[in-house]
């Protein structure tokens, strides 16, 4: 295995927002690498304003593509992917560029040159999009479940949709300069299970369904009624899965065979593809037929006889004839061109994430973002995305340099995967992440596959370690080794605290893995009455005063764990001491450490517990999802009924709950999290309802509605985790549709003006957006001056963001008039006497 060190460390210098992608080009009938630089959102918010959003989505899964002006325009799992064939470069459009939904399933183009986009489950939206202006023309949110196909003419658009379990077709008509929704078509008297495709030929609309091929004259008949539709008798109740309108003929796939229809029906392939399911089909001008399965491209001659087949590089979705006669495959990992003359695939894969769904985030000490989920771990650096993908067969590692980030970069790791619940970093840079539910297993080669907790260093992932039920590491749920690990916490001594939700043994629900590699379990002896025990631990918090708080779901309540006992006075707490009485006999061989004749398991209480509950008016609810401690030694708990504030006495023997529960109307469920930024503001995530922020002064930001998909650029309301980059003032938000990054007005206080920058430069006025002066010390005052020192404008208060690291100038004087074109001075002054002067250029247009 080759070790790797792919990532450059972050520093305070500006870096261009550039990521490299890799494309393959044909040269002497062989594939070679061509390095292409493209503009793409980078890791650092270079020259960004407070309130700016970015979206990081996976565009690996290309669902459907069209060709337009020498470019390939694709609907992907992460938005629109544009590939310029001339420059061999990619561009990605997300909700930041006006897409209503980014998880796209289908794409078409109308007579006005606008794109029609349909989105996937669970929210099917139809959007008309202006690609030239990169802006939305119109969208239709009719509370649909998904959109599966779109076809258009100059004056009509037809959209196949599902709404829960009902399927139908939407008709849109062009009226008064815009498309409007008119009616719903229903082609079948029987309930349809799926509509696969739509095609318009002349005045007829063809519909491919699981019940056959339907055709309706949309100009002559009212197609709201099934009796006004015709169907091909030969395919009644047979699945028709793909339609293509190829000029003089309609080509389609039915029952896994290829058919064409002009004036009569004709079977076009004399031999089936085998057990492979045909995903798409096309016929060239010379009559050659190409069928696409998930893994193969199959060629038939004009008589339908099998000619050849080639295995594709990845799972394929759709097939497209290009203007030059070559074929394009939209696949689960980028796009592939089929060169007919050389019989080779040419692959183009952008640098991107392996998936859109990550359930745990953290920002490393050096500023890199780590996102972990069931499909792997992705790390974002200034070079691009690196992916660590789980494999059931083996591990494969490569040595990557910065120049390798021109492509989809990934290694594979041999472990059993499931939903990731937590990811943390130890001070030495080691990353740990935990899984909700995995069992020990073996692959087809008989090799064991483990899971539970995985650790690795991001600069040497080949040295990963899998922690499971072996060597008394983690206690299983049952005899087959099933593990259900939840939250992880690193304390000041670099001990890893583990919430073993599924442990069969109650005394091993809470486990500690020390920095030295030892494992210890927290016994529940003396926890309370016989009916009180910690059975469903979720989050763990080690407080500044050394108390351990453990929240429980399933009405389990809140537990306070004390581990102060040190029997032999050697400075090692009994629960971590392998020889409690220091008699030279290890505990496991010394059943009565104090020689009082009473076995340790009855006599010794290495830890003590305190139980808090709703019934004692201590908690708002007994189901607790997350815990965190603020600077004022206040404990915050996120319960099923909202965010609650608790104050403990010095020994944690008494608790005073705050009378008010914040965000009590928000449905916080399993998987909700609490995060604290460096300014003491609380961030709460809801798995169904977005993000909510409570400032240190107990007021909401931006308001009580928080950030939702409907009121911000949040990709989805299904938020799975939050991570804060305190150094740069960035909040990363993981959703079910990708990761958002929000430039926030909360960051680590600046100590000097050494990193002040102004942008845009030059500043052109009038402007919709103000000039930004970034990198300020708290409570700075700014003066805009002429070169001679005349003060034109003073900035303070509302012109400076909440923690004062950014100030904003609209180009106007104190009298409200725009300044003229020229060079100006910005004088910056702090409360403690620091100051600096920088120049800016203004162009008045």
Phi and psi torsions of 264, nearest 5°: -145, 165
Q: Which long-range contacts (CB under 8 A, 24 or more apart) does 97-101 make?
A: 97/134, 97/135, 98/129, 98/134, 98/135, 98/136, 99/127, 99/129, 99/136, 100/125, 100/127, 100/136, 100/139, 100/141, 101/125, 101/127, 101/737
Specify the pLDDT at position 677: 96
Q: Provide the pLDDT confidence category of residue 43 given band limits of 50, 70 and 90.
A: very low
pLDDT for the residue 22: 30
| Structure confidence at residue 796 as a pLDDT band (50, 70, 90) | confident
Instruction: Decide: 372 and 388 in contact? Cβ < 8 Å.
Output: no
| Chain centroid, CA 668 distance in Å | 19
Q: What is the mean pLDDT of residues 84-93?
A: 92
Grade residue 442 by pLDDT with cuts at 50, 70 and 90.
low
Whole-angstrom distance, CA of residue 30 vs CA of residue 135 = 40
Q: Are 627 and 539 in contact (CB under 8 A)?
A: yes
Please state the three-class secondary structure of 501-562 as a single string.
Answer: CCCCCHHHCEEEECCCCCEEECCCCCCCCCCCCCCCEEEEEECCCCCEEEEECCCCEEEEEE
Work out the end-to-end distance of the chain between its first and last CA atoms, rounded to an integer number of angstroms. Answer: 60
pLDDT at 587: 67
- H or E stretch at 603: helix 600-603
Q: List, edge to edge, every strand of the sheet that includes 635-639.
A: 624-629, 635-639, 642-648, 655-657
The verdict on whether omega for the bond into residue 165 sits within 30 degrees of 0, i.e. cis, is no
Q: Is the confidence at residue 37, as pLDDT, over 70?
A: no
DSSP code, position 707: B
CA distance linking residue 213 with residue 416, whole number of Å = 43
Sequence length of the chain is 845
Using CA atoms, how far apart are residues 843 and 821, in angstroms rounded to an integer? 4
Please give the average per-residue pLDDT across 706-733, as a whole number: 97
Q: Which residues contact 131 (CB under 8 A, 6 or more apart)?
A: 68, 73, 80, 113, 114, 115
Contact assessment for residue 377 and residue 388, using Cβ atoms and an 8 Å cutoff: yes
What sign for the dihedral angle of Cα 96, 99, 103, 109? negative
Q: Which residues of 411-446 are buried (b: 16+ CB within 10 A; e: fewer)?
A: bbbbbbbbbbbbbbbbeeebbbbbbbbbbbeeeeee
Angstrom distance (rounded) from CA 584 to CA 662: 53
How many Cβ atoms are within 10 Å of 388's Cβ, its own excluded? 25
The reported pLDDT for the residue numbered 46 is 66
How far are the Cα atoms of 423, 474, 481 from residue 470, in angstroms, in the given order? Answer: 21, 7, 9
pLDDT at 445: 61
| pTM for this entry | 0.90
What's the pLDDT score for residue 575? 79
CA atoms of 246 and 806, how far apart (whole Å): 57
- Residue holding tokens 């709950």? 657
* % of residues, the chain, pLDDT over 90: 72
Residue 528 near residue 506, CB atoms below 8 Å: no
- Mean pLDDT calculated for residue range 419-423: 96
Q: 3-state class of 597 per DSSP?
A: coil
DSSP 668: -
DSSP readout, 363-387? E-TTS-EEEEETTEEEEEETTEEEE
pLDDT of residue 651: 86
Among 153-162, 232-241, 691-700, 808-817, whose mean pLDDT is lowest?
232-241
- Place 461 in a pLDDT band, splitting at 50, 70 and 90: very high
Which residues on adjacent β-strands are paired with residue 195? Answer: 209
Q: What is the pLDDT of residues 726-783, one digit of tens each?
A: 999 999 999 999 999 999 999 999 999 999 999 999 999 999 999 999 999 999 999 9
On average, the pLDDT of the chain sits at 88
pLDDT of the residue at 237:
84
Query: How would residue 45 be classed by pLDDT, with cut points 50, 70 and 90?
Result: low
* Strands (E) located in 600-715: 608-612, 624-629, 635-639, 642-648, 655-657, 674-676, 682-686, 690-694, 700-701
Half-sphere exposure of residue 406: CA atoms within 13 angstroms, side-chain side:
13
- 187 has pLDDT over 80: yes
């Amino acid at each position: 295995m080759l070790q790797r060190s792919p990532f450059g460390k972050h520093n305070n210098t500006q870096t261009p927002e550039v990521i490299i992608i890799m494309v393959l080009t044909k040269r002497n009938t062989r594939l070679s690498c061509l390095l292409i630089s493209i503009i793409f959102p980078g890791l650092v918010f270079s020259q960004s304003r407070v309130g700016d959003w970015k979206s990081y989505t996976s565009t690996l899964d290309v669902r459907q593509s069209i060709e337009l002006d020498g470019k390939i325009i694709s609907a992907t799992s992460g938005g629109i992917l544009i590939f310029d064939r001339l420059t061999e470069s990619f561009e990605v459009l997300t909700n930041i560029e006006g897409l209503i939904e980014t998880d796209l399933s289908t794409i078409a183009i109308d007579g006005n040159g606008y794109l029609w986009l349909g989105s996937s489950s669970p929210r099917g939206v139809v959007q008309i999009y202006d690609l030239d202006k990169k802006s939305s023309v119109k969208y239709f949110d009719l509370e649909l479940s998904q959109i599966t196909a779109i076809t258009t003419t100059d004056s009509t658009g037809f959209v196949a949709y599902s709404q829960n379990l009902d399927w139908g077709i939407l008709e849109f008509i062009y009226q008064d300069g815009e498309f409007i929704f008119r009616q719903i078509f229903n082609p079948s008297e029987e309930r349809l299970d799926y509509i696969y495709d739509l095609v318009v030929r002349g005045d007829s609309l063809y519909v491919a369904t699981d019940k056959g091929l339907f055709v309706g004259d949309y100009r002559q008949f009212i197609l709201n009624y099934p009796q006004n539709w015709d169907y091909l008798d030969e395919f009644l109740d047979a699945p028709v899965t793909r339609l293509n309108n190829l000029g003089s003929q309609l080509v389609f796939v039915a029952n896994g065979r290829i058919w064409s229809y002009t004036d009569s029906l004709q079977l076009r392939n004399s031999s089936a593809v085998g057990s492979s399911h045909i995903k798409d089909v096309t016929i060239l001008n010379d009559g050659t037929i190409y069928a696409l399965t998930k893994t193969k491209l199959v060629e038939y001659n004009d008589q339908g006889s099998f000619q050849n087949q080639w295995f594709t590089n990845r799972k394929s979705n759709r097939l497209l004839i290009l203007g030059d006669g070559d074929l394009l495959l939209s696949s689960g990992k980028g796009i592939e061109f089929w060169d007919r003359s050389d019989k080779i695939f040419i692959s183009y894969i952008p640098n991107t994430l392996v998936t859109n769904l990550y359930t745990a985030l953290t920002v490393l000490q050096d500023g890199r973002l780590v996102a972990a989920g069931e499909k792997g771990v992705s790390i974002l650096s200034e070079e691009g995305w690196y992916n660590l993908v789980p494999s059931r067969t083996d591990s494969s590692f490569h040595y990557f340099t910065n120049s390798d980030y021109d492509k989809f970069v990934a290694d594979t790791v041999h472990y059993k995967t499931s939903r990731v619940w937590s990811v943390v970093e130890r001070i030495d840079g080691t990353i740990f992440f935990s899984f909700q539910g995995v069992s020990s297993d073996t692959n087809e080669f008989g090799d064991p596959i483990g899971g539970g907790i995985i650790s690795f260093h991001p600069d040497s992932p080949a040295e990963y370690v899998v922690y499971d039920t072996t060597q008394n590491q983690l206690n299983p749920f049952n005899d087959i080794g099933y593990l259900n690990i939840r939250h992880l916490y690193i304390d000041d001594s670099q001990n890893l605290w583990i919430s073993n939700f599924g442990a069969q043994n109650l005394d091993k629900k809470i486990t500690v893995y020390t920095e030295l590699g030892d494992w210890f379990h927290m016994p529940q002896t003396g926890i309370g009455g016989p009916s009180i025990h910690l059975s469903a631990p979720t989050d763990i918090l080690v407080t500044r005063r050394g108390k351990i708080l453990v929240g429980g779901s399933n009405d389990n309540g809140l537990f306070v764990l004390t581990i102060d006992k040190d029997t032999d006075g050697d400075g090692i707490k009994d629960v971590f001491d392998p020889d409690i009485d220091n008699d030279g006999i290890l505990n496991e061989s010394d059943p009565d450490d104090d020689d009082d004749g009473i076995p340790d398991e009855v006599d010794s209480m290495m830890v003590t517990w305190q139980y808090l509950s709703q019934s004692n008016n201590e908690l708002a609810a007994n189901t607790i999802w997350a815990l965190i401690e603020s600077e004022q030694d206040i404990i915050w708990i996120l319960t099923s009924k909202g965010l609650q504030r608790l104050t403990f006495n010095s020994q944690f023997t008494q608790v005073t709950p705050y009378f008010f529960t914040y965000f009590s109307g928000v449905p916080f469920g399993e998987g909700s999290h609490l995060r604290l930024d460096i300014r003491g503001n609380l961030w709460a995530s809801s798995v169904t309802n977005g993000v909510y922020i409570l400032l240190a002064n107990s007021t909401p930001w931006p308001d009580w509605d928080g950030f939702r998909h409907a009121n911000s650029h949040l990709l989805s309301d299904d938020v799975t985790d939050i991570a804060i980059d305190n150094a740069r003032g960035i909040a990363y938000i993981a959703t079910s549709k990708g990761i958002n990054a929000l430039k926030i007005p909360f960051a680590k206080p600046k100590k000097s003006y050494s990193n002040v920058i102004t942008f845009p430069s030059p500043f052109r006025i009038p402007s919709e957006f103000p000039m930004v002066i970034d990198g300020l010390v708290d409570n700075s005052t700014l003066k805009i001056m002429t070169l001679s020192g005349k003060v034109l404008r003073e900035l303070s208060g509302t012109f400076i963001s909440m923690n004062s690291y950014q100030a904003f100038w609209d180009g106007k004087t104190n009298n409200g008039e725009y300044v003229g074109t020229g060079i100006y001075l910005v004088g910056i002054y702090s409360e403690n006497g620091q100051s600096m002067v920088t120049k800016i250029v203004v162009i008045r247009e």
